[in-house]
Amino acid sequence: MATVSIMWFRRDLRLTDLPALTAAAAGGRVVPLFVIDPAFSGTGVPRRAYMAAALRALDDSLDGTLVYRHGDPAVVVPALAAEVGAGQVFVSRDYGPYGRRRDAAVAAALGSDGGRLVGVGSQYAVQPGEVRKADGTPYAVFTPFSRGWRSVGWEYPTPPPEVEWLGAPDVDCDGPPAPVETNVSIGPVGEGAALTRWDTFLEKGAAHYHDRRDQPAVDGTSRLSAALRWGTVHPRQLLADLTVQEGHEAFANELAWREFYADVLFHRPETAWRNLNQRMDAMPLDTDADARRRFARWATGTTGFPFVDAGMRQLLATGWMHNRVRMVVASFLVKDLHLPWQWGARHFMAHLMDGDLASNNHGWQWAAGTGTDAAPYFRVFNPTSQGERFDPDGEYVRHWIPELSGVGGRAAHAPGLLRPDGYPPPMVDHAAEREEALRRYRHVTAGSR
Ligand SMILES: Cc1cc2nc3c(=O)[nH]c(=O)nc-3n(C[C@H](O)[C@H](O)[C@H](O)COP(=O)(O)OP(=O)(O)OC[C@H]3O[C@@H](n4cnc5c(N)ncnc54)[C@H](O)[C@@H]3O)c2cc1C
């Protein structure tokens, strides 16, 4: 009798360039599995809607044979393995804190029945933990990490293997995840859609990426973050098409940031929600009722700072926000409103389709000055001049803030005395809050001497 194994899909919802699937297919028939883990119910709605769409696309490419099981993976995976007589369950390794705990529990449960969880590859070009300094310790700073990352390197992508599938309806299936309601338009999803988007970006955007990536009114970035988050495309597939031209180099550098943050979180899993730089634990932050009111204005895009408000409204409407604006709204929450970065990170995770614990929470720590040391706390973004610089014609802010539609050009960033109908005046004085942020920072540095 032919051997049966299971391919348990998680953050790798594709068939091309999937080393775990290639390994599973080499050993006989393969059961394609996705587990609807009760832990998902706490995650953001746009992210779950994106996942459901990516699963539909995967199931279509498997001719409807994807086996869904609902429940705790440590229970349902060994149960399926016993049902189909599979000795091995193949997965792409998950390096996040929850994924590691879950996989340890599944491996232990499978092991007690003589089965094995086999990790092959991951969602990164270089596995977290692999890039190290000469003395074996991990990098804490991006630039040397990225040099090490490039020198470790990656394989060329592989085509989909020949697979003899054993799936639904021959294997019982609990059905896809319950539909989730969202006002966010998910758009084309799946590995075909990701590669189409990539081809368009390669043809029209990649060569100019270094120039355009900071302009939120321009479609100058790949918009592949959710596809990378769910693994409908692998970074190896993107890296393989890049050359040494400036735009391409800048793009590879951003992929390196994604891998750097995964590496940092792998070595320091507690920093998902705690300051990487523990000295910053002494920073006085506001958490009272007034702080919560300030947070609500930030979250609803009604701070009176157009660049910030446009970003927050883009997030709520689309489940995505431009990177430059993510940095500015994050800085505003921490340094103008003096709120904990965790409040903002939680809000982002609830609304982003690409919500990813490593990139998000370490992106927040970068902006807050509590993380990897490239952006110290005393660098404070001015939300108005950032808008004037990166959205010089005011196109982005007018798009997301209809109240500003009558304010022409770059004046849209500082509507000030024009007082457009229905748009609030700035909720704080940026110059004063910048001083306040620096005062609080001095308190920390003085305390640590
Ligand atoms: C406060 C904050 C929170 C963020 N939260 C997330 C998140 O939850 N999920 C997420 O994928 N990215 C996050 N980012 C990083 C970045 O904003 C997004 O990856 C990017 O905007 C996605 O758009 P894109 O695919 O068009 O990016 P591109 O500019 O086309 O970049 C290509 C890919 O590189 C990666 N990348 C780009 N910039 C970064 C970065 N600064 N850090 C890590 N990876 C990067 C992404 O995978 C992205 O898809 C965050 C950044 C900040 C400042």
Please identify, by atom number, the ligand 1 atom nearest to the C-alpha of residue 229: 11
For the chain, give the percent of residues with pLDDT over 70: 98
DSSP summary character for residue 40: G
Q: Does the pLDDT at position 275 exceed 70?
A: yes
List pLDDT tens digits, range 207-219. Answer: 999 999 999 999 9
Kindly state if the Cβ of 298 falls inside 6 Å of ligand 1.
Answer: no
Which of 225, 178, 440 shows the shortest CA–CA distance to 335?
Answer: 440
The protein residue whose alpha carbon is closest to atom 21 in ligand 1 is: 323
Distance CA 261, CA 281 (A): 20
Q: Does the pLDDT at position 378 exceed 90?
A: no
Tokens of 433: 């809050």
Which of 157, 156, 158, 137 shows the shortest CA–CA distance to 148?
Answer: 137
Please identify, by atom number, the ligand 1 atom nearest to the C-alpha of residue 322: 21
Pocket test for ligand 1, best of 258, 321, 325 (most atoms within 8 A of CB): 258
List pLDDT tens digits, range 277-314. Answer: 999 999 999 999 999 999 999 999 999 999 999 999 99
Q: Does the pLDDT at position 416 exceed 90?
A: no
Pairing outcome for strands 116-122 and 67-70: unpaired
Lowest mean pLDDT among 333-337, 420-424, 429-433: 420-424
Q: Does the pLDDT at position 421 exceed 80?
A: yes
* pLDDT score, position 1: 56
Q: Does the pLDDT at position 375 exceed 70?
A: no
Q: Does the pLDDT at position 448 exceed 80?
A: no
Tokens of 322: 């431009």
List pLDDT tens digits, range 388-404. Answer: 999 999 999 999 999 99
Cβ neighbours around 392 below 10 Å, total = 14
**Ordered domains of the chain (ranges, CATH):** 4-122 (3.40.50.620), 124-158+191-267 (1.25.40.80), 272-447 (1.10.579.10)
The protein residue whose alpha carbon is closest to atom 44 in ligand 1 is: 258
Please identify, by atom number, the ligand 1 atom nearest to the C-alpha of residue 355: 8
Please identify, by atom number, the ligand 1 atom nearest to the C-alpha of residue 224: 25
3-class DSSP state for residue 119?
Answer: strand
Q: Does the pLDDT at position 447 exceed 70?
A: no
Q: Does the pLDDT at position 254 exceed 60?
A: yes
Decide: 40 and 123 in contact? Cβ < 8 Å.
Answer: no
* pLDDT score, position 419: 78
What angle, 0 to 180 degrees and rounded to 10, lies between the N-to-C axes of helices 341-351 and 323-331?
A: 150
Enter the pTM of the model.
0.97
List pLDDT tens digits, range 137-191. Answer: 999 999 999 999 999 999 999 999 999 999 999 999 999 998 889 999 999 999 9
Kindly state if the Cβ of 330 falls inside 6 Å of ligand 1.
Answer: yes
Distance CA 420, CA 129 (A): 52
Kindly state if the Cβ of 9 falls inside 6 Å of ligand 1.
Answer: no
Give distance in angstroms: CA of 219 to centre of ligand 1. 15
Name the strands in the sheet holding 29-36, side by side, starting at the edge strand that comes first in the sequence. 67-70, 29-36, 4-9, 86-93, 116-122
* pLDDT score, position 298: 98
Residues 45, 312, 338, CA angle at the centre, nearest 5°?
A: 110
Give distance in angstroms: CA of 225 to centre of ligand 1. 6
Give distance in angstroms: CA of 189 to centre of ligand 1. 18
At position 410, the amino acid (one-letter code) is R
Give distance in angstroms: CA of 6 to centre of ligand 1. 32
Kindly state if the Cβ of 69 falls inside 6 Å of ligand 1.
Answer: no
Please identify, by atom number, the ligand 1 atom nearest to the C-alpha of residue 360: 5
The protein residue whose alpha carbon is closest to atom 31 in ligand 1 is: 254
Cβ neighbours around 23 below 10 Å, total = 18
Cα 415 off chain centre by: 33
* pLDDT score, position 221: 98
Distance CA 399, CA 310 (A): 8
Mean pLDDT of the chain: 95
For the chain, give the percent of residues with pLDDT over 90: 92
3-class DSSP state for residue 405?
Answer: coil
Confidence of residue 376 (pLDDT cuts 50, 70, 90): confident
Q: Does the pLDDT at position 374 exceed 60?
A: no
Distance CA 428, CA 46 (A): 31
Tokens of 343: 């409040």
List pLDDT tens digits, range 14-57. Answer: 999 999 999 999 989 999 999 999 999 889 999 999 999 999 99
For range 84-107, the mean pLDDT: 98
The protein residue whose alpha carbon is closest to atom 49 in ligand 1 is: 225
For range 210-239, the mean pLDDT: 98
* pLDDT score, position 13: 98
Please identify, by atom number, the ligand 1 atom nearest to the C-alpha of residue 228: 47
3-class DSSP state for residue 77?
Answer: helix
Tokens of 32: 């394609």
